[in-house]
Structure 1
Amino acid sequence: MTQKSSLRAIPTADRAWLLAALADALQGGAPVLPVSEGADPEAIRRLQYETLPPGTALVVRTSGSSGVPKAVALSADALRASAEATHEAFGGAGQWLVALPPHLISGLQMLVRSAVSGIAPEFFDGPFDPAELLARAEHMRHERRYVSLVPVQFTRLLTLAEVDPAAADVLRSFDAVLVGGQAVTLEMRRRAHDLGIALRRSYGMTETAGGCVYDGVEIGDTRVRIRGGEVQLAGPTLALGYVGDAKLTADRFISDQGVRWYRTGDAGHLLGGMLTVTGRLDRVIISGGVNVSLDEIERVASGHLGGAAVAAVGIADPEWGERPVLVIEGLDHVIHERTEELGAALRAQLGPAAIPARFALLAELPRLEGGKPDLRKIAALVS
Structure 2
Amino acid sequence: MSRLRLVPGTPDGVLAALAGVLDGSGTAFAPVPEDAVGAARVQQAARPDEPVEDGTAVVLTTSGSSGEPKGVLLSRDALVASATATHERLGGPGQWLLPMKPYFVGGLQILTRSLVAGTTPVLLGDSFTEAARQLTGVRRYTAMVPTQLARYLETDLQALRSFDAIVIGGASTPEPLKQRTAEAGVTAIPAYGMTETGSGCVYAGVPLDGTAIDLGADQRILIKGSTLFSGYRLRPELTAEVLRDGWFRTQDRGELVDGRLRVIGRVDDVVISGGVNVTLTTVQARLLEHPRVNDAVVLGVPDAEWGTRVVAFVVGEPTRDEARDWVSQTLPRTWAPQDVVQLQALPMLASGKVDRQRLREGVR
Q: TM-score, normalised by structure 1?
A: 0.88
How far apart, CA to CA, are the structure 2 residues paired with 1:41 and 1:239? 19
Contact 2:14 2:108 in 1 (8 A): no
Give the corresponding residue for 1:371. 352
Q: Distance in 2 between matches of 1:188 and 1:83?
A: 26
Q: 1:291 aligns with which of 277, 288, 291?
A: 277
Measured at CA, do residues 252 and 46 of structure 1 come closer, stay the same or move farther in structure 2, by a change above 3 Å? closer
Measured after TM superposition, the shift of residue 19 of structure 1 is 1.2
Structure 1 equivalent of residue 243 of structure 2: 253
- The one-letter amino acid paired with 1:295 is T
Work out which of the residue numbers 318, 322, 326 in structure 2 matches 1:336: 318
2:197 maps to 208
Q: Does the C-alpha gap of structure 1 residues 325 and 119 become closer, same or farther in structure 2, counting only changes over 3 Å?
A: same
Q: CA deviation at 1:379?
A: 1.2
| Correspondence 1:182-331 to 2 at 5 A | 182-228=171-217, 229-255=219-245, 260-305=246-291, 308-330=294-316
Offset of residue 378 of structure 1: 0.7
Rounded to whole Å, the distance in 2 between the matches of 1:41 and 1:263 is: 24
2:18 corresponds to which letter in structure 1? Answer: L
Aligned match of 2:159:
170
1:137 aligned onto 2:132: yes
State the SS of the aligned residue for 2:115. helix
Partners in 1 of 2:279 and 2:97 — Cα distance?
Answer: 35
Report the alpha carbon displacement of residue 44 of structure 1 after superposing the two structures with TM. 6.4
Deviations 1:299-348 (A, max 9, x none): 22223347722121223445433221111125xxxx236x6554334224
Q: 1:9 aligns with which of 3, 6, 27?
A: 6
The answer for the alignment partner of 1:86 in structure 2 is 86
Letter in 1 for 2:221: V
Residues 84 and 303 (structure 1), Cα distance of their counterparts in 2 relative to 1, 3 Å cut? farther
SS in structure 2 opposite 1:286? strand
Deviation at 1:293, TM superposition (A): 2.1
Three-state SS of the structure 1 residue aligned to 2:289 is: helix
What is the distance in 2 between the residues matched to 1:307 and 1:25? 46
Letter in 1 for 2:234: G
> 2:227 and 2:291 mapped to 1: Cα distance?
37
Change in 2 beyond 3 A, CA 1:122/1:325? same
In the other structure, the counterpart of 1:72 is: 72
1:41 & 1:66 partners in 2: Cα distance?
A: 14
- How far apart, in 1, do the equivalents of 2:133 and 2:166 lie? 15
| 281-290 or 216-225, which deviates more | 281-290
| Structure 1 counterpart of 2:132, one-letter code | A
Unpaired segments of 5 or more residues in structure 1? Answer: 127-131, 161-166
Work out whether residues 125 and 131 of structure 2, in 8 Å CA contact, stay in contact via their aligned partners in 1: no
Pair 1:31-2:28 in alignment: yes
Q: Does 1:155 align with 2:162?
A: no
Contact 1:187–1:307 under 8 Å retained in 2 = no
- Tell me which moved more, 339-348 or 82-91: 339-348
Q: Is the 8 A contact 1:208 1:237 kept in 2?
A: yes
Deviates more, 1:339-348 or 1:134-143: 339-348
Distance 1:182 1:240 in 2: 23
1:163: which partner in 2?
A: none
- Unmatched 5+ residue regions in structure 2? none
Q: Partner residue of 1:21?
A: 17
In structure 2, the CA distance between the partners of 1:57 and 1:304, relative to structure 1 (3 Å rule), is same
**In structure 2, what is the Cα distance between the partners aligned to 1:21 and 1:290?**
51
Aligned counterparts of 1:183 and 1:42: Cα–Cα separation in 2: 25
Q: CA deviation at 1:232?
A: 0.5
- Describe the superposition over 1:167-188 as per-residue Cα deviations: whole angstroms up to 9, x where unpaired: 3222111111111111111111
CA contact (8 A) 1:96 1:146 kept: yes
Which segments of structure 1 move beyond 6 Å, counting only runs of 4 or more?
Answer: none
Once residues 9 and 304 of structure 1 are traced to their aligned partners in structure 2, the CA distance between those partners, rounded to angstroms, is: 46
Look up the match of 1:112.
Answer: 112
- What is the CA–CA distance in structure 1 between the aligned matches of 2:260 and 2:236, rounded to whole Å? 33
Q: For the residues of structure 1 that align with 2:266 and 2:335, how far apart are their CA atoms?
A: 16
SS at match of 1:349: coil
Query: What is the TM-score with the length of structure 2 in the denominator?
Result: 0.92
The separation in 2 between residues aligned to 1:280 and 1:51, in whole angstroms, is 34
Task: Letter of the 1:336 partner, please give it.
Answer: P
- The Cα shift of 1:50 comes to 2.6
Report the Cα offset of residue 202 of structure 1: 0.6
CA contact (8 A) 2:28 2:58 kept: yes
Q: Following TM superposition, by how much is the alpha carbon of 1:375 offset from its aligned partner in structure 2, in angstroms?
A: 0.8
Identity of aligned residues (%): 39
Q: Distance in 1 between matches of 2:287 and 2:125?
A: 33
Tell me, in whole angstroms, the C-alpha distance in 2 between the residues paired with 1:159 and 1:42.
35
Aligned-residue CA RMSD in angstroms? Answer: 2.1
Paired amino acid for 1:105: V
For 2:228, the aligned partner's letter is: L
How many residues are matched? Answer: 359
Q: Does 1:146 align with 2:131?
A: no
SS in 2 for 1:308: strand
Distance 1:22 1:46, change over 3 A: closer
1:269–1:275 CA contact under 8 A, matched in 2: yes
Give the CA deviation at 1:191. 0.5
